[in-house]
Amino acid sequence: MDRIVVHGGARLEGTVTVSGSKNSTLALMASALLAEGETVLHNVPRVRDVDTMLQILGALGARARWDEKDAHTLRIAGRVTKPEAPYDLVRKMRASFLVLGPLVARFGAGRVSEPGGCAIGVRPVDQHLKGLEALGACVRLDHGYVEATSDGLQGARVVFDLNTVNGTQNVLMAATLAQGESVLENAAREPEVIELARALVAMGAQIQGAGTDRIVVRGVPGLRGITHRVAGDRIEAGTLLAAGVITRGDVTVEGVEPEALETTLEKLRETGALVEVGSERIRVRAEGAPRAIRVVTAPYPGLATDMQAQLMAVLTLAQGSSVVTETVFENRFMHVPELQRMGADIALDGRSAHVRGVTSLSAAPVMATDLRASAGLIVAALAAEGDTTVNRVYHIDRGYERIEEKLRSLGAEIRREA
């Protein structure tokens, strides 16, 4: 089982290009099931979650493979021979559930294992099912599988009870082939929703309002495959910028639009970092200890919950006490005990973590528990005195392509050990 060893203390500086967005890629891969013909995705990150989705598409009978010439290009033929996504794959990645909407919309049937909860929370799919049922799908639970059938979805008004990114994406994809007009109220506004809608429109869908909380879709008889370049990963960008700040360095990330992580940049500015933005590039410079700040995660355009652990790592070395409040997931503080092992002074109080800044962190063997918690531990390790070993690095590999190489190119002393 791989682990990453970081010798902390190096000041990061230089420029690095982020990979394509993992979360956009997963939704775009599912959307290929809606289209006749081949969908080509460029700038796809080579991460484990994408491999898992490739296996899911394969299990459905869709021919999905990496391009022979370009290692970051996927080719997906939207054909399905068996509309069932098996438990052993879905349990590895709950985003597999994103195939249900396309399956029932295009093929009239989909059977996907109910994704269990995961480390960060129960993460039910009730909103996905509420939307599909509103569009006329017949949904039933059968031996741990969700089965959705329909002999033709009908446009409808769907009001989500809460903000759900994948729920919005699943229902949006289904609505593109429903007969008539659908209105998605209280829709998620994340950049990944906007990017998916853009790709669906390129496929021939009729969608207005993506990026607002009200999306209007006019169903069409069919969609055709497209070529699409995946946007840069805004969370990977935020992670690399946090690494620049905690090491009091000078780091530029390229290949991502700044407004996709504007609130993260605002928070980094509040800590005293200098943040400059340009077209598809962001530069941070930090000197001295960060200032203590208040962080509250929220649906977009609020601070991304996926950036919470990485910002907390920075704040463990702040001057003064910060408060970090997690409002999206109910159990997303598993990085806290590991940071405490490194000398961080953090007290948990329900959904808030009170982070009292210390003057230094000390290296320790730590355990990765989920994708972004592990990223937070790596950020902390970059500033800790000594060699930190982050175990169970497969969590990181789910969403970051060769994170150690990107950080090493910025001057980090970091290596992967098998």
Kindly identify the residues of this chain, within the stretch 78-137, that bind ligand EPZ according to CB under 6 A.
95, 121-128
Q: Which residue shows structure tokens 């150690």? A: 404
Task: Count the alpha carbons within 13 Å of 377 in the hemisphere toward its beta carbon.
Answer: 35
Q: How far is the CB of 189 from ligand EPZ (least distance, A)?
A: 11
Kindly identify the residues of this chain, within the stretch 25-44, that bind ligand EPZ according to CB under 6 A.
26
Closest of 161, 29, 157, 185 to residue 97, by C-alpha:
29
Between 329 and 333, whose beta carbon lies closer to ligand EPZ? 329
Q: How far is the CB of 124 from ligand EPZ (least distance, A)?
A: 4
DSSP 325-394: E--S-SS--THHHHHHHTT-EEEEETTEEEEE--S--B--EEE--SHHHHHHHHHHHTTSBSEEEEE-TH
Maximal CA-CA distance, the chain: 64
Q: How far is the CB of 81 from ligand EPZ (least distance, A)?
A: 25
Give ∠ CA 328-298-161 in degrees, rounded to 5: 65
Q: How far is the CB of 9 from ligand EPZ (least distance, A)?
A: 28
Between 121 and 211, whose beta carbon lies closer to ligand EPZ? 121
Q: How far is the CB of 115 from ligand EPZ (least distance, A)?
A: 9
Between 99 and 273, whose beta carbon lies closer to ligand EPZ? 99
Between 232 and 399, whose beta carbon lies closer to ligand EPZ? 399
DSSP 12-52: PEEEEEPPBPHHHHHHHHHHGGGEESEEEEES----HHHHH
Is there a contact between 323 and 295 (Cβ–Cβ < 8 Å)? Answer: yes
Between 23 and 252, whose beta carbon lies closer to ligand EPZ? 23
Is position 306 an interface residue for ligand EPZ (rule: CB under 6 A)?
A: yes
Q: How far is the CB of 372 from ligand EPZ (least distance, A)?
A: 5
- What is the chain's length? 418
Kindly identify the residues of this chain, within the stretch 238-277, that bind ligand EPZ according to CB under 6 A.
none
Tell me 281's DSSP state. Answer: E
Q: Which residue shows structure tokens 């789910």? A: 398
Is there a contact between 239 and 400 (Cβ–Cβ < 8 Å)? Answer: yes
Kindly identify the residues of this chain, within the stretch 366-405, that bind ligand EPZ according to CB under 6 A.
371-372, 399
Between 9 and 301, whose beta carbon lies closer to ligand EPZ? 301
Is position 166 an interface residue for ligand EPZ (rule: CB under 6 A)?
A: yes
Among 21, 31, 52, 164, binds ligand EPZ (CB under 6 A): 164
Between 129 and 317, whose beta carbon lies closer to ligand EPZ? 129
Is position 416 an interface residue for ligand EPZ (rule: CB under 6 A)?
A: no
Note the Cα 63 to chain centre separation in Å.
24
Q: How far is the CB of 122 from ligand EPZ (least distance, A)?
A: 6
Interface segment toward ligand EPZ; rule CB under 6 A; list 164-172, 213-221, 223-231, 389-397: 164-172
Residues 104 and 340: their CA atoms lie apart, in Å, by 47
Between 124 and 320, whose beta carbon lies closer to ligand EPZ? 124
Q: By rule CB under 6 A, what string of x and - marks binding of each residue 181-200 to ligand EPZ?
A: -----------x--------
Catalytic residues: 118
Is position 308 an interface residue for ligand EPZ (rule: CB under 6 A)?
A: no
Interface segment toward ligand EPZ; rule CB under 6 A; list 31-39, 56-64, 165-173, 225-233: 165-173
Is position 328 an interface residue for ligand EPZ (rule: CB under 6 A)?
A: yes
Q: How far is the CB of 170 from ligand EPZ (least distance, A)?
A: 9
H/E/C letters for each residue in 254-267?
ECCCHHHHHHHHHH
**Cis peptide, bond prior to residue 83, ω within 30 of zero:** no
What count of other Cβ atoms lies within 10 Å of the Cβ of residue 154?
16
Is there a contact between 56 and 83 (Cβ–Cβ < 8 Å)? Answer: no
Binding positions for ligand EPZ, rule: CB under 6 A:
23, 26, 95, 121-128, 162, 164-167, 192, 305-306, 328-329, 371-372, 399
